[in-house]
Structure 1
Amino acid sequence: MSLPVRYLLLGGVILFGFLILSCSATDEISPQPVINVNTTCSPFMVNDPEFDFELKRTLSSMYSGGSDLGEVIATASRIKPLNYENWYTEWTKTADHFKKVGDTAYEQGHLVSAHDAWLRAQTYYRTAEFFLHRNPDDPRILTSWKNSVDTFRAAMELDPVHMEIVSIPYENTTLPGYFYSADESGEKKPLLIIQTGYDGTQEELYSNALEGVKRGYNVLTFEGPGQGEVIRVQKIPFRYDWEKVVGPVLDYATSRPDVDSERIGMWGISMGGYFVPRAAAFDNRIHAIIADSAIYDMANEQISQFRMGFPDPQNVTREDVFDFIRENKDYVNEDMYARMKNSTSLDWAMTQGMYVFDVPTPADVMLTYEPYTLEGVIENITAATLVCDGISDSKIGGQAQSFYEALKCPKTYLVFTDEFCAGEHCQLGASGISYQEKLDWLDDQLHP
Structure 2
Amino acid sequence: MTHGSISPSAGPARRALLAAGTVLAAAGCSRAAPGPADPDRPSASGPAAPDAGQTPGAMTLFKDSAFNFNGLLALGACGRGAAEVGEVLTAVNAVNAAGLSSQSYVRTFRRLGDQLMAAPRDSAADDETRRWRALRAAQYYGQALFFVLGSDRPGDEKRLYQAGRDAWDTFCGLCDPPPVTARVPYGTTPLPVWFFRPDRSDRRRPTVILTNGSDGQNVDMWTYGVPAALDRGWNALVYDGPGQGQLLFVDQVTFTPAWEKVVGPLIDWLSRRPDVDAGKIALTGLSMAGDLVPRAAAFEHRLAAAVAMPGCVEPWRAFPAEIREILRPSRAETNAIWNKDVVPHLPAADAATLRKRFEPFSVPAMLAARRGETFTDFYTPARAVQALTVTDVVSRISTPMLVLDYEGEQFYPGQPRELYDALRSPKDYVKLTAAEGAQLHCSPMAPQTHCEVVFDWLRQRF
- TM-score, normalised with respect to structure 1: 0.83
Alignment check: 8 A CA contact 2:244 2:360 kept? yes
- SS at 2:300's partner residue? coil
**Partner of 1:235: helix, strand, or coil?**
coil
Between 112-121 and 363-372, report the one with greater CA deviation.
Answer: 363-372
User: Residue 214 in 1 paired to residue 231 in 2?
Assistant: yes
After superposition, give the CA deviation of every residue in 1:176-215 in whole Å (9 maximum; x if it has no partner): 1110012222111111000001101223211221111111
Q: Counterpart amino acid of 1:68?
A: E
- Structure 1 residue runs of 5 or longer lacking an equivalent are 12-36, 310-319
* Residue from 406, 420, 425 that aligns with 1:390: 406
Higher-RCO chain (CA-CA 8 Å, sequence separation at least 6): 1
- Corresponding residue to 1:127 among 140, 143, 168: 143
Offset, 1:330: 3.1
Aligned to 1:56: 72
1:374 aligns to what?
Answer: 390
Distance apart, 1:428 and its partner CA: 1.0
- Structure 1 residue 56, shift from structure 2 partner: 1.1
- Corresponding residue number in structure 2 for 1:408: 424
1:431 to 432, 438, 447: 447
Does the 8 A contact of 1:10 with 1:270 survive in 2?
no
Task: Judge conservation of contact 2:291–2:313 (CA < 8 Å) in 1.
Answer: yes
- Structure 2 counterparts to residues 83-122 of structure 1, below 5 A: 83-101=101-119, 108=124, 110-122=126-138
1:330 aligns with 2:358: no
* Aligned position for 1:30: none
Partner of 1:357: 361
Shift of 1:158: 2.6
Does residue 173 of the first structure (1) align with residue 177 of the second (2)? no
Give yes or no for contact 1:9–1:349 (8 Å, CA) kept in 2.
Answer: no
- Does the aligned pair in 2 maintain the 1:10–1:198 contact within 8 Å? no
What amino acid maps onto 2:243 in structure 1? Answer: G
**How do 1:233-252 and structure 2 match up within 5 A?**
233-252=250-269
Classify 1:50/1:339 alpha carbon distance in 2 versus 1 (closer, same or farther; 3 Å). farther
**Residue identity (%):** 25
User: Displacement of 1:246 after TM fit?
Assistant: 1.4
Structural mapping, 1:146-161, within 5 Å = 146-161=162-177
User: Displacement, 1:38?
Assistant: 4.6
RMSD: 2.8
Q: Distance in 1 between matches of 2:55 and 2:409?
A: 13
- Secondary structure (helix, strand or coil) at the match of 2:442 reads helix
Deviations 1:217-258 (A, max 9, x none): 111111111110111111111111111211222221212121
Partner of 1:263: helix, strand, or coil?
strand
| Residue aligning to 2:44 | none
Relative to the length of structure 2, the TM-score reads 0.80
Aligned positions of 1:338-357 closer than 5 A: 341=347, 344=349, 347-357=351-361
**Residue 382 of structure 1 aligns to a residue in which SS?**
coil
Q: Which residue identity lines up with residue 427 of structure 2 in the other structure?
A: K
CA displacement, residues 354-374 of structure 1 (integer Å, 9 cap, x when unaligned) = 321114348334333222111
Residue 332 of structure 1 and its aligned partner are, at CA, apart by: 4.2
Give distance in 2, aligned partners of 1:300 and 1:155: 37
Partners of 1:393 and 1:121 in 2: CA distance:
28
Residue matched to 1:316: none
2:433 matched residue in structure 1: 417
Distance, in Å, in 2 between the alignment partners of 1:392 and 1:277 is: 22
Q: Secondary structure at the match of 1:173?
A: coil
Residues 282-320 of structure 1 show CA distances to partners (whole Å, capped at 9, x for unaligned) of 01011111100111111224476679x8xxxxxxxxxx9
Letter in 2 for 1:90: T
Distance 2:139 2:108 in 1: 13
Number of corresponding residues: 406
Q: 2: CA distance between counterparts of 1:102 and 1:40?
A: 35
Question: Partner letter of residue 110 of structure 2?
Answer: T
Is the contact made by 1:91 and 1:128 (CA closer than 8 Å) also made in structure 2? yes
Letter in 2 for 1:341: P
Matches of 1:236 and 1:137, distance apart in 2? 23
